[in-house]
Amino acid sequence: RTANVDSLGLESAGVDFHPSKGILVNDFSQSVSNPDVYAVGDCVSDVFRLTHMSGEMAKVVVQNALFQGQWRLSSLVVPAVMYTDPEYATIGRIHVDENDNVVSPIENNEEVDIYKAELQHNDRAILDSSDKTSFVKILCKKGTGTIVGCTIVSSRAGEMINEVTLAMKHDISLEGVGRNIHSYPTLGEAVMGCGIQFINSRWETMN
């Protein structure tokens, strides 16, 4: 998807733009060259070209333009979903290993701890005869419960990723996710399963 800014008269309005990337905005979604102009969605340069991103940017602009807000685009935590079968959802950083065969680097080579819950033994998946090869993988900053990324492959991945998005947005640790009671039986219990793995990894070994 590329920005379509042809024939908008942006030059006449003094709005700077890149021919293929789109309108150049600051962190408040204002034009960098004309602060009286705001832009949202796919016409904006260097933003996720996703429908839900456009909707969130619209909220940012309404608050900032009409109600003297200071809501920043950089504060947004944006998940992405591919509606394949099964669905593939991701947010933040993604881990690569030989078994998953997914190529995507971890930023700055920062070390992470990985917690992975497979759904083959999830009771809802068993009841629905689904998700036999599905999984949830959550990455945390090394030695902490700070979530820095998540990948979910599941028939309901697009819905399951929202819990992790909320945790990342509001600095809820993976322990907090694991301590949260999840309805049974649901595929979302796999997200909790990663949290339980984190909690169990902190247990002292009994001699």
For residue 180, count CB atoms less than 10 angstroms from its CB and return exposed for 0-12, middle for 13-18, buried for 19 or more: middle
Average pLDDT estimate for 31-60: 93
- 205: pLDDT strictly greater than 90: no
What pLDDT score was predicted for residue 1? Answer: 72
pLDDT tens, residue by residue, 47-89:
989 999 999 999 999 999 999 999 999 999 999 999 999 999 9
What pLDDT score was predicted for residue 106? Answer: 52
Alpha helix (H) residue ranges in the chain: 51-66, 123-128, 157-169, 174-179, 189-201
pLDDT tens, residue by residue, 123-152:
999 999 999 999 999 999 999 999 999 999
pTM of the model: 0.86
Question: Cβ distance 86 to 145 under 8 Å?
Answer: no
Question: Which run of H or of E encompasses 19?
Answer: none
- % of the chain exceeding 70 in pLDDT: 91
